[in-house]
Structure formats: structure tokens, C-alpha cells
Chain A
Amino acid sequence: MTDITPFLKDLLTAPGLSGYEDPAAEIITAKWTPLVHEISRGRLGSLHGLRRGAGASPRPSIMVATHMDAIGLMVTGIADGFLRFTQVGGVDPRVLPGALVTVYATGVGKPQPIPGVVVQPQSQLLPPEIGLNPVPLEYLFVDTGLPPRKVADLVHVGDVISFAQPPFELSGGTITGHTLDNRVSVAALTVCLEELQSRPHIWDVWAVATTQEEIGTIGATSSTFELHPTIVIALDVTHAKGPGSSDWQTSPLGKGPTLCMGPNIHPVIHKAMKDLAERLEIPYGLEYAPRHTGTDGYATQVVAEGVPTLVMGIPLRYMHTPVEVVAIKDIQRAGRLVAEFIAGLTPDFMEKITWDD
């Protein structure tokens, strides 16, 4: 298995906020082009890579959805050269003070990256009720250090701001940075595509890097409608056990991807994947989603006449912070498991997907 870390680090260094995913899409396109037969962008920007299967036409297809968009911030106003901002996707304001960011300024045409810092004004400059409590987002600023006139020329309301924390490896085969949610899954899907180079498969495979998952699974909904797959696997990150996160919703880091159970997941496909992991001795965990999974899979399941959906998770600590942590082994395990599942899909697999209770 090739080392996926260089590609992942490359991807983690690129911006690509929800709605503005082009920089990430370019990197993924370059990586996937030799691995697929066709590559294109959907109407809302999702990347669609097709690996044609060997089966007789018309072939069923499996779509693997991994979202490429990042959470971040957006400029809402400029006050004396300081930038006011709002969030794009779910950001806990408590991780912001002191965060390094990049402002993609459109004042002079094409977006120009400007380094900045998220700053928390001194207490005297804030409503007294805040005291020493966390400062709400609306009172924070991004400071680029540039003089106000320069900022007014360079920056516009609506410009996007991404986290600038560079990725790096921690001990024990783990990696940290921003937007591991969900670029590690894109990496896992890439591992899957690499595996499939040497494994024949009957079904068509749609490798899809979806857009705008963080603000409403927009890309997944439209890509599923357009591609009309037979089955969807939504590969996303899930909460790993860690400081302050030890409850039933969390899974151990580095002990394999999780297979989710609940109304969002087709129980027969879940069982097929679980049995496969057992057979291949790939470590995995079980995850319970009583109502919804908070992933692209929640949208894909109810597109058009409905699509049988499976949700798989890669355990990740500190989700939605600039210092998310994932075990690289889990990325490879997820990629391999999905590849083996695809390779094992027979032409009559769908007849077995019955609700024989």
C-alpha cells in the first residue's frame, strides 16, 4: 500500500471552504485522474470520478461520498482595518482567539492570500458582562496587521477566511491539522481507488468528493440525484475518545474505522460490511446513531426513490478545531475495507438486499 501521507498533507494545506472548494478539487483531480476512467465536476462543484466495472451493461453502481469542503470564516465587515467575520460551518468560538488564518482577499481580482490572526479585544473594549468568559464570535476580529486603507483596498465583504494551521505528524502514526474532517476520508477513498487498480470489480464505482457538506450536505444531495447510484457509502469522520470525549458517541483512536448502525443505515449492507471486516481481520468499531448520522449519508438515503446507504467513520479527536487528530492506519484500513467490499460486489447483490426480517 502506497503512503497516503504526502497527498493528505498536500490536501490539508489547501483552502477550500464550503462553496469555495476549487483549490481542494484541483489537488484531488490531479491525484485521481490516473486512477479513474473519467473525471468531471457536478453542477454544484462536487468531483465525480468514475471507475467503470467489468460487468455487463447496464451495471449497478456504488457511490462513495467523502466531503472535501472545510469549515472556516467569512468577512462580514471592516472596522478600522480589522475584519469582522461570521462562521461557515460549525465553529466553536472558543478555539478562535490566537488562531492563525489566511484571508482570501478579492479586492484586486483573483483571491490573494493574506496571513492574519483571530484576535480577542481587551476586556475594556468589550461589553462588561463578558468578564473573563469566552468572547462570543461577533466581538472577535481578524487582524492582518496592514494599515486600514490597504485593507479597504484588498478585502471585500464576503471574502473567505481559512484556518492556516499547517499539518504535521504526532507520535504513534497520527497526523494533526485543520480540515482532517473530512479530507482524511478523501485520502481513504484515494487508498481505495489505488487498491482497485489491481482488483477487478463488476460494479461501476463513483468516487465523489462532495461540496458543502458542512452547511447542509448540499453536494451529496445533488450528486446522488445526478449519478443515481445503486448504493451509497458515506465515509466521514467520527468522534474519537479523548479528553472530555469518552461517552457512548466516541470510539477509540487507531483501532479501526467504525461501522454505523441506525435508521440512516441499511441494516443488510451494514451486516455485509461487518462480516467482510471480520473475514479480513480488519479492526473496526460499532457506532450507534439513533436518529441521524450528521453526514452526507443522511442526505443520500432520501434522494429520489431512496438509496440504500452505509455510513463508515474514521475516528478523529477535537473535531472542528485547527488541531484535529487521526491515526493514519485508520485511513488505510477504511480505504482497504471499502475496496474489498467493492471488489466483492456480485451482479445479484441487490437481490440479497431484502428486508427479510
Chain B
Amino acid sequence: MKQLIQKLTETFSPSGFETVIREVIRKEIKPLTDEIRVDALGNLIARKGSKAKGGLKIMLAGHMDEIGLMATHIDENGFIRFTGLGGIRMTTLTGGRVRFMDGTPGVISSDRLFDLTKAPTLEQCFIDVGASSRKDCPVKVGDVCGFERPFLDLGNRMVAKSMDDRIGCAVMIETLRTLKTSPHELYFVFTTQEEVGLRGATTSAFGVDPDLGLSIDVTATGDTPKGSKMEVALGKGPAIKVKDGGMLADPRIVNWMIRTAEKAKIPYQREVLEGGTTDARAIQVARSGVPAGCLSVPTRYVHNPSEMVDTGDIQNSIKLLVALLSSPVDL
């Protein structure tokens, strides 16, 4: 499992440019699924099984894209100005390293800051790839890069960039591997462009037209020093989302998830997240509406190049998702 997480998190695929991660994931799931297609926005849609008696068409969504940067201008000296793809935290930029899709590495720095106590704005930053002029710079306007950090295995914890949401993708892939039987027609959808507005989930949910939707994404925690007041913590199990900044999980789904976890004796937490949302919001409003919820992986330092998860939480997330999909759904 850890090898898979390392492979997924160390891949570069910022929002809108998910081709590489899509192929990595496709390779993993091809032997485990019945049918795979790619839609107009690049979503990877994999079907497993068909509806048996008491079964539903269930869509699971984990997003393949990560936050990143896109070059907007190469100046005469070869420095690269950029814009953000998704929610970039200004405090994580300066001194950070990036890697463009063609492998070119770079360093982020900023204009001279007259107030060193404040983080620079996006417009004040630039990437230096070691070029000396616009002509010899390998990067063009429109090229994209992701933040570069190696995966760290700390035993009971793991650290990487893009745990959001490669960890969700990993949970889905491991669930596919572990799931023995299911009465449901399952759609494992690895979505694109979540970080810039849940765009992939919007179109894939319309296309799949499910009876029920579940996103698998990260959520924040309240267990760091002088952190936000949130009850979710690492090591206490997967979080069952009740509400986030963009949606209310369908209470029937929340109750189904809680009952299933209690029956299977899997630790879990109830989650209310004050800022941020997931693909479930987009699935919920597809067509005539879809009862939707989210299985959240507690994660420290979200949208920071060193996001941290708990190994036990991942194992329990997989266990819970397998338990949810193995039996008929009683809403």
C-alpha cells in the first residue's frame, strides 16, 4: 500500500493536465475493472460489476489532480512569472522547488520584499530554472509544474505532497483490490480539475448518472498546536463528513456510513469542515439530484507540500469503503 501511495504522490499532474497520473492509475486498475473510459474532461471512469437485487449504481470520486502553477510570462532574463492552479498558500512558495511536466526543475523566489513578515503575493513571485534569457528558457507560457517533495514513510505516519487527493485515489485502488463481492454497479471515477472548481466531477456525474455518490477526499484536522478548533484528529479513523464549506452530506448517507462502521467495528469520526469542499458537492446536484456524502481521510497541512496522514487511518478507510460497498445499501 505504501509503495502505491508513494508512486501516486510523486507523480506530477496539476489541475487540467492529468494525463500522466491518469495512465499510472489506469495501469493499476485495468486488471481489476470491467470497463474503462475517459470522458471529454479527461476523467478516468472505471466500472466494476452490475446491479444485482437490492443493488444501486454507486459513483465513487477521488480527484487525480493536484494544485500547481502555470507559467504566464517568461521575462527577458528567463525568469518565469506564474499563476496558481487551485488553492495555493502563499506561505508555501518562497524557497520551494517545482518540477515542470517535461522534467525541468525550478526554484520559487520573489521580488524584494520590504516587509519580511508578510508572505509575497502571487504576482511578486517567480520561478528560476537556471535560464539566462527568454530564448534559452525551456519553459513556455502555459507550461505547468507541481511542487516537489519526496515521499516520507514515518511508520505510523506518511508525509508527501498531493496527499490531497492521491491518498483518496490510493484508498479507491486498494478498495478495488480488496473488494470481493458487491451487489452494486460501481463506478470508480478518478476525476480531473477538482482543485479549480470540481469540474471533472460535474461532467462525470452527469455521464454516470448514479443513484448514490461518495467522494473520497482529505479533510483537515484540529490536532496541531493552536490549530483550528476541529474535532477531527489523526489516528482516530476515517472521517464521515456531515458538512463542509460547500455542502451538507445527505443525512441518510451519514447514518448509513456510521451504522456500517459500527457494525464492522471500524473506528470513525464525525466531520464538520468549515472551509473547503469536495467532488461530492458537484455529484449532489447532477441531473435530478444524487444523495451524496464523503469519506474523508484526516490530513494535516492540507495544500502544503508536506501533507501528513496516519497509516492506520488509511487502512481503516479502505476497510470502511469495502464494508460500505459489500452489502446492499439501506438508506
Contacts and interface: CB of A to CB of B under 8 A. Distances in A.
A99 B285 CA distance: 33
A61 interface: no
B78 to A, nearest CB: 44
A42 B230 contact: no
Interface in A204-226: 212, 215-216, 218-219, 221-223, 225-226
A42 B231 contact: no
Majority secondary structure of chain B interface residues (helix, strand, loop or mixed): loop
Contact of A225 (B222, B287, B291): B287
B29 to A, nearest CB: 29
A74 B229 contact: no
A256 interface: no
A167 B236 CA distance: 43
B214 interface: no
A60 B306 CA distance: 57
A157 interface: yes
Given A88-B243, A157-B270, A76 B288 contact: no
B270 to A, nearest CB: 4
Nearest to A43: B289
Interface string A304-343: 0000000000000000000000000000000000000000
B291 A86 contact: no
B272 A74 contact: yes
Contacts of A226: 287-289
B144 interface: no
Contact of B289 (A44, A77, A88): A44
Interface in B208-260: 222, 229-231, 242-243, 246-251, 254
Contacts of A178: none
B243 A44 contact: no
B43 interface: no
Nearest to B249: A19
Contacts of B231: 76-78, 157
Interface in B272-331: 272, 274, 284-285, 287-291
Given A43-B291, A77-B230, A225-B287, 13 more contacts: A19-B251, A20-B251, A44-B250, A44-B290, A76-B272, A77-B222, A77-B229, A157-B272, A215-B247, A218-B247, A218-B289, A223-B289, A226-B288
Interface of B: 222, 229-231, 242-243, 246-251, 254, 269-272, 274, 284-285, 287-291
Interface of A: 18-20, 42-44, 74-78, 84, 86, 88, 138, 156-158, 212, 215-216, 218-219, 221-223, 225-226
Query: Ordered nearest first, which 5 A-B pairs have the shortest CB separation?
Result: A222-B289, A158-B242, A19-B248, A226-B288, A44-B289
